[in-house]
Chain A
Amino acid sequence: MSVPTVLVRGGTVIDERGQRRVDVLCSDGTVSAVGESLEVPSGATVLDAGGCFVAPGLVDVHAHLREPGNEDAECIDSGARAAALGGFTAVVAMPNTDPPLDNAAVASEVLALGAGVTCKIAVAGAITVGRAGERLAPMGELADLGVRLFTDDGAGVQDSGVMRRALEYARGLGVTLAEHCQDDGLSHGAAMHEGEWSSRLGVPGSPAEAEELMVARDIALVRLTRGRLHLLHLSSAGSVALLAAAKAEGLAVTGEVTPHHLALTDAELSGYDTVFKVYPPLRTATDVGALRKACVTGTIDAIATDHAPHRPEAKDVPLADAASGMLGLETALAVVLGALTDGDEPLVHATGDEQASRLCARDVVGLLSWRSARIAHMALDQGGDQGGPIAPGNPANLCVFDPTESWLVDPLRMASRSRNTPWAGRKLTGRVRHTICAGEPVVIGSEAQR
């Protein structure tokens, strides 16, 4: 299928190199020209980007697409559509599928299903067979398929000896491990953060230490093995402090944060609304403030959605029985702009120095785009095609968004097959207008084209 020529006109390009008011012309899947007031070639599709930023397509290094095994909740096709509407041109699919992504057969299947959808689909392989935390998964055969990230996400590797061997083995392959930090012993049976709210509500909770213990352990193992590690969905002030210290020491550790952990606290569970049940749990305003600050200081390397679709029957039950997780692809950009820039009133009043926790839109987009592309091993200089910069000759993966447009989140009108978004019924500011994936305009005027 040939890709049309597309002119993105009237927007402000933002990428690693800076910010400039220029038009962008794409043809045959690449950026062919960047400049002011470009001429419209005949037959070209013109996308109006007036009032918008034009950024390299966003890259989500952490999303659950549920295929194979739970296609009622989401599949690769619907997940890709949701991603495109959220401005993402690439997504890394997590391996806690059924069967899990712990071998080349399942990985090939997922990569094949991902070819031709409205977003590039990459795969994270499991660290251990069945994600059981016992034996190493065949990381070599998965790396041969292009897999660069490995994680047992959904669970943390409980046995330190196993994690040590995994780090050593991964170092030999030149791939990166990613950890879902959760100590099972401390978090057993928990449905929310352990603190004042869980105590008041009579709900078993998981303290921040359940995450921090494994963060600290893994950092020590990286020191021991000289391996490389990416910390998934960090949620507490203690965790980011540990990450900052590890970086200061020169260890190869990176970390990500989700949009919801930058915007919501455990107080949201006061009505036992299961849409707010997630792992790691929403924590306190102090934690939210520390996570925001960590985004500003550069301790946090990427923002990732941890998009976790669940069918209503998995959520419409008492809190203790409900599945954990929230949708994230379609709302990420708006939520993060609201949490980290001066644009909108933040939903949470974090404690501490508000001024210090603010970024400009370009830096925020960087956390979702070129910086997360790097974590995902998809940057141009890593042999990938994501993250820009937006320059002639580079792949045409673009996210065009209006930072001032407000919209009402309606779960029934989202592309995801599931509806568990914590923003249902709320107004968000910041909307993706067009998304171009490998030169194809897959979203025009905030509507998916296929």
Chain B
Amino acid sequence: MTAHQEALTGEHRGEPGTDTASAAASATTPATARADGARHLLSVSDLGAEGIEEVLRVSDAFVEVSKRVIPKVPALRGKTVVTLFVEESTRTKLSFETAAKRLSADVLSFNATSSSLKKGESLRDTVETIAAMGVDAFVVRHSAAGAPAAVARWVDTCVLNAGDGWHEHPTQALLDCCTIRQVLAERDGRMVAETGVECFKGLRVAIVGDIRHSRVARSNVLAFSALGAQVTLVAPGTLLPPAVEAWPVAGVSHDLDEVLPETDVCYLLRLQAERGVGGFLPSVREYAAAYGLNARRAAALADGALVMHPGPMNRGVEIADEVPDLPLSVILRQVANGVAVRMAVLFMLLGTPRDESPAGALAGLEDAWETGGG
């Protein structure tokens, strides 16, 4: 079994701090998946640096597929993927469904707003009912942290976390890493396929915004720090997470202007105004004044810096209207890479036999691609 395949089996391990009690207790916590059962991607920590690099390399192949006339491969033909989105989402859902379809999987789309959940059916009953129809993977988005982990406990099917509350959004972090690697390689005049993840070592990343409530921030901090980047969190006092000193980051700042000149990647989080700004911030205006990336601040970034955003953007709040169109913004490339990265993850979880590496499985598909994905 390759390192990534081991890492992708459902055991959810976290290592906050050096609390021996935590270590002892987590050793006695029951595993979230049987070792010989379904594989999952619930957290970036399921992957580790090696696993992340493997996903990026497999994504290279699918970036290439997406550029073809018929951007489709038969890798997951006959497999059924269910998108179980209990929390509203348009872009991530479309991205996953597109990815699954380009792999020739059958896609079932379950939308909580028009479903039995409204009639009072429990999530568990919903999931077990769908699983009984014979599906191969659940892609789960839910407003409660840990919901995908619960699904993985209830059914013997592959579970992919598409965003659970404030906890994680692993494929977002992966597509962000994919984008950074791609852009930095191009800027250095090199082929992406020839680069590994060395570009992350010492890379200075600033994540700006509502860190406390952000699953994107949690996944990105795990991914970037695993790859050796130096992450600084920039946020007002109320929007930092508790016990932030235990996070694997290089620093925390309340002063965006001070951090910008030392920043190679400026990653902006959406201010979730629907959350009730009054409780955490006096006003959106005050937030935008102190933490919004406008053109002046973008110009203050280090040479060659990138501006990123997971979307959807609040123009005029965390990002000024003119910034996404500047050359240093790679926001649209993030979106484009999203499909390829999700294809890679689905392929690695569903299309790769246990005793084979993804590279081997990919090679086996070469012929199919040559004939246009028939």
Contacts and interface: CB of A to CB of B under 8 A. Distances in A.
Interface of A: 194-205, 207, 264-265, 267-268, 270-273, 284-285, 288, 313, 316-321, 347-351, 425-426
Most chain A Cβ neighbours within 10 Å, of B12, B23, B146, B244: B146
A273 B153 CA distance: 10
Interface in B1-24: 12-14, 16-17, 19-24
Given A195-B242, A198-B242, A270 B21 contact: no
A415 to B, nearest CB: 24
Contacts of B26: 267, 270
9 contacts: A200-B246, A202-B165, A203-B165, A203-B166, A265-B22, A271-B32, A318-B146, A320-B165, A321-B144
B110 interface: no
Given A195-B242, A268-B29, A202 B167 contact: yes
B24 A318 contact: no
B22 A320 contact: no
A267 B146 contact: no
Contacts of A426: 28
Contacts of B241: 199
Interface string B20-47: 1111111011111000000000000000
Closest CB pairs A-B (n = 4): A272-B146, A202-B167, A285-B21, A202-B166
Contacts of B242: 194-195, 198-199, 205, 207
Contact of A201 (B14, B17, B30): B14
Nearest to A188: B279
Contacts of A316: 122, 124
A270 B14 contact: yes
A202 B168 contact: yes
A365 B206 CA distance: 55
B243 interface: yes
B147 interface: yes
B150 A318 contact: yes
Contacts of A288: 21
Contact of B21 (A200, A272, A348, A425): A348
A295 B117 CA distance: 47
B16 A272 contact: no
B145 A319 contact: yes
A271 B12 contact: yes
B150 A272 contact: yes
A278 to B, nearest CB: 15
Contacts of A207: 242
A206 to B, nearest CB: 10
Interface in B119-136: 122-124
B21 A203 contact: no
Given A195-B242, A196-B246, A198-B242, A270 B30 contact: no
Contacts of B22: 196-197, 265, 267, 270, 285
Given A284-B21, A319-B144, A350-B21, A271 B149 contact: yes
Interface residues of B, number: 42
A64 to B, nearest CB: 23
A203 to B, nearest CB: 5
B105 to A, nearest CB: 26
Given A199-B243, A202-B165, A270 B12 contact: yes
B243 A201 contact: no
A267 B28 CA distance: 10
A220 to B, nearest CB: 27
A202 B145 contact: yes
B287 interface: no
Interface string B48-87: 0000000000000000000000000000000000000000
A201 B12 CA distance: 11
B61 to A, nearest CB: 32
Most chain B Cβ neighbours within 10 Å, of A197, A207, A264, A347: A197
Contacts of A199: 16, 241-244, 246-247
Contact of B146 (A203, A265, A347, A351): A203
B270 interface: no
A212 to B, nearest CB: 16
B141 interface: no
A196 B19 contact: yes
A254 to B, nearest CB: 28
Interface string B254-281: 0000000000000000000000000000
Contact of A273 (B19, B30, B144): B30
B205 to A, nearest CB: 19
A349 B24 contact: yes
Contacts of A351: 21
Given A196-B246, A199-B16, A270 B24 contact: no
B19 A347 contact: no
B285 to A, nearest CB: 26
A200 B165 contact: no
B142 interface: yes
Interface in B152-196: 164-168
Contacts of A284: 19, 21
B218 interface: yes
B109 to A, nearest CB: 21
A348 to B, nearest CB: 5
B215 interface: yes
A265 B21 contact: yes
A197 B243 CA distance: 9
A338 to B, nearest CB: 13
A271 B143 CA distance: 17
A399 to B, nearest CB: 28
Contacts of B150: 272, 317-319
Contacts of A264: 25
Given A196-B246, A199-B16, A271 B25 contact: no
Contacts of B12: 270-271
Nearest to B21: A285
B16 A197 contact: yes
A270 B29 contact: yes
Contacts of B25: 264-265, 267-268, 270, 347-348
A317 B146 contact: no
A203 B246 contact: no
Contacts of A321: 144
Nearest to A193: B242
B21 A202 contact: no
